[in-house]
Amino acid sequence: MKLCYNQATTLENSNLVKDLELCEKYGYDYIEIRTEDKLPEYLETHTLVDLKNYFETHHIKPLALNALIYFNNRDEQGHQVIVAVFKDMLEKGKVIGVEYIVAVPYFTQEKILKEDIKKSAVEVLTELSDLAEPYGIKIALEFCGHPQCTINTFGQAYDIVETVNRENVGLVLDAFHFHAMGSHKEDLLNADVSKIFILHMDDVEDFPVGFLTDEDRVWPGKGVIDLDFILSTLKEKGYSGVASVELFRPEYYQLDAEEVIKTAKETTVDVVSKYFEFE
């Protein structure tokens, strides 16, 4: 197992330069780079070639650009924006050598039938798959466990990925999102693990299904998610991807970034190492 760091964990108390230095110091293998804020901030004073050179001369490597947001069920103008943003992410990802672009579904208060959500998601992901293929970059669909998210359970997301049926389209399995909308364990037990590209590690306080928000996340092993089930199932099925710690805890943003990155590694390794050996 390889260990990855998602920049959301120090969203308000660090930047890409500091995250890279601290992740290198504490032995992380990969980083997920936030494209909404952290990468643009970095590019104000650095270039993509600077970032490429950093990765080439250090242990840590870029896992993913996170994220292409609200990709499905858009009007034509919104869809064209999504395609343009994705093309730009492909070009940036090619320079620095990322393996994945994470795609986040549309959030809305509008009620949209599941068949219409699936139709849109399949069409868009197929189009993006064609665009991504020459770059050798894969698309990781991240369902989000919120009532307002159009794709909010593992089973729903897995069905979409299966229908797309492309080698470069798979899933992010985020433990929080799996728990937050009550994804069915049977869906994971029946899944082809090769479709799961990234595992997001986190935990959460004990609020009812449907009421949880990202801010309720806590250190892995310090909450109520059945991480033993998720990890043991992935182990039995031969999961060979990474474990990427992703927290959005406001009180963690008040801590020193080094303390957060150090604790995030320790708690993640403590939980994951029951089932996987870290290389």
- The pLDDT confidence band at residue 136, using thresholds 50, 70 and 90, is very high
**Rounded to the nearest 5°, which phi and psi values hold at 107?**
-105, 135
Mean pLDDT over each residue of the chain, to the nearest integer: 98
**Rounded to the nearest 5°, which phi and psi values hold at 129?**
-60, -45
pLDDT (tens digit per residue) in 37-76? 999 999 999 999 999 999 999 999 999 999 999 999 999 9
Question: 237 with 275: CB under 8 angstroms?
Answer: no
Question: 233 with 274: CB under 8 angstroms?
Answer: no
- The mean pLDDT of 117-127, rounded to a whole number, is 98
pLDDT (tens digit per residue) in 212-253? 999 999 999 999 999 999 999 999 999 999 999 999 999 999
- Which residues, at least 6 apart from 56, have a Cβ–Cβ distance to it below 8 Å? none
> What pLDDT does 195 receive?
98
> What pLDDT does 183 receive?
98
Written as six digits, the tokens of 218 are 């806590």
Facing residues of 139 across strands? 101, 169
Question: 98 with 137: CB under 8 angstroms?
Answer: yes
pLDDT (tens digit per residue) in 189-206? 999 999 999 999 999 999
Give the percent of the chain with pLDDT over 70: 100
Is pLDDT at 279 greater than 90 in this prediction? no
Expressed in percent and rounded to 5, the helix, strand and coil fractions of the chain are 45, 20, 35
Element containing residue 179 per DSSP (H, E): helix 175-180
User: Within 10 Å of residue 157's Cβ, how many Cβ atoms?
Assistant: 25
- The mean pLDDT of 155-167, rounded to a whole number, is 98
Is pLDDT at 31 greater than 90 in this prediction? yes
Distance, CA of 106 to CA of 199 (rounded, Å): 21
Distances 131 to 104, 124, 239, 265 between C-alpha atoms, Å = 17, 11, 27, 35
